[in-house]
Structure 1
């Protein structure tokens, strides 16, 4: 028996058990697909959480704005009440008597005045009877027409 030279640079040969076939090595592409799938699910979860927190934030803002609207409505109602109170005839009469020294009218007299004669209405000057196409032609050619005023 002659010994064969052993090439150590060659891949080591694994011993195979008797009766079992060696399965070819599978590629690890499934690992990349799994990582992409996990990243996509994680991204969707983060998007869901972001949207949920935004909805909650908008709910708080809506509640605050409704509270402000109710407060402004109360202020408007109070101002309308104050305006109606100040415009009441009893208050105006009391204020006129107290601050301005006014008293109620005791005797009313009516006066008849003669109306002045109405002023004459000015008559517009007669317009020149030129057709529309003559006016357009004059406007295009730059021809002007002066009209004297008859009113002094």
Structure 2
């Protein structure tokens, strides 16, 4: 990572909005269980092969992935930081190994603020950037989020966002 002198802004998400979003993700994943159960009842009604072991397996897979996603978000929170330098944005997190996503400010195509009802309640905002990444001959548009920021308005007024805000 670059020297601190070059750093324009550094921050991390506010905990309670971040926790609330993690809980919503968990609830969303668990909501798949009744849907799969209803589908299994319909298939049973239509005399299609029905096996309770397969259904149990699907439920357990959903539960495991939902809990994994929740725990991954919560355990990586302490080491999640966002930093903006003179020429790049860095999203850094560490759970078991350090993962750092860094992209050039000139590669930002669009920038916007997203504030859902839970963000407004906690007085935070999420800044979303879309950038173009070139992999060989293909251009891929990727979206990155600076999630649940208390000072989202300060970040949105940086020079690299001007003229690119939706």
Shorter-chain TM range is under 0.3
Larger radius of gyration: 1
The structure with more strand, counted as a fraction of residues: 2
The TM-score, its normalising length taken from structure 2, stands at: 0.20
The TM-score, its normalising length taken from structure 1, stands at: 0.22
